[in-house]
Amino acid sequence: MKPLVILALALALSLCPTLTKPLSAAGGDIALPPPGKTGGMPLMEALSKRKSYRELRPETLTLQQISDILWAAFGVNREDGKRTIPSSHGNNELAVYAVLSSGVYLYDAPGNKLVKVLDGDRSASFRGAPLTLLYAAPANGPVGGFHAGSAYQNVALYCASSGLANLVATSGVAALKDELKPENGWAVLVVHSIGHPAGKDF
């Protein structure tokens, strides 16, 4: 290969953190690439392929996949700040935490970034999945569960469309209760692990 071609390839890779930056090396907040908002599988086909997996392979997801997943869950999809899920009276009473090998992060949808709230790898508490979303809302509120359900269904359909595996559970909601500190009166309601399929669906 000619030297100029090699140099061009090296420069292109150096400018692409999605391909070159391992998540385990991230020391603080993580800026996410813009989510992909076009393409994908037709909705009815994605519904037909939606399924759950108990076993996930530990391979790291790309930042682009993580960005797309979080946007599907609770991203901003209009200029007025409204989200990809319906919200009772527009109160947006939902917080989405991302558990990665490099720590635990709070999803900042308007800023399209992950804000680190805990250091260290806690994926072992969530089936070893490369990405686990924790959906938190007011523990005694009337609509938090609906918001969480809308978010995880969006993500499940994204996974069906992209060939990823996912599992929604309530086991593990208290795994980080002594470390994670949502807003006063809030609690993690649902755990959603995401990765590549390692076994049969159910």
What are the structural domain ranges in the chain?
26-197
What value does the mean pLDDT take over residues 39-66?
93
Q: What is the pLDDT of residues 22-40, one digit of tens each?
A: 444 457 999 999 999 999 9
The pLDDT of residue 12 is 41
Range scoring the smallest mean pLDDT among 1-15, 115-129, 188-202: 1-15
- Amino acid in the structure at residue 62: T
Radius of gyration, alpha carbons of the chain: 17
pLDDT for residue 117 is more than 60 = yes
CATH architecture, domain 26-197? 3-Layer(aba) Sandwich (3.40)
pLDDT for residue 119 is more than 90 = yes
The pLDDT of residue 26 is 52
Residue 74 C-alpha from the chain's centroid: 9
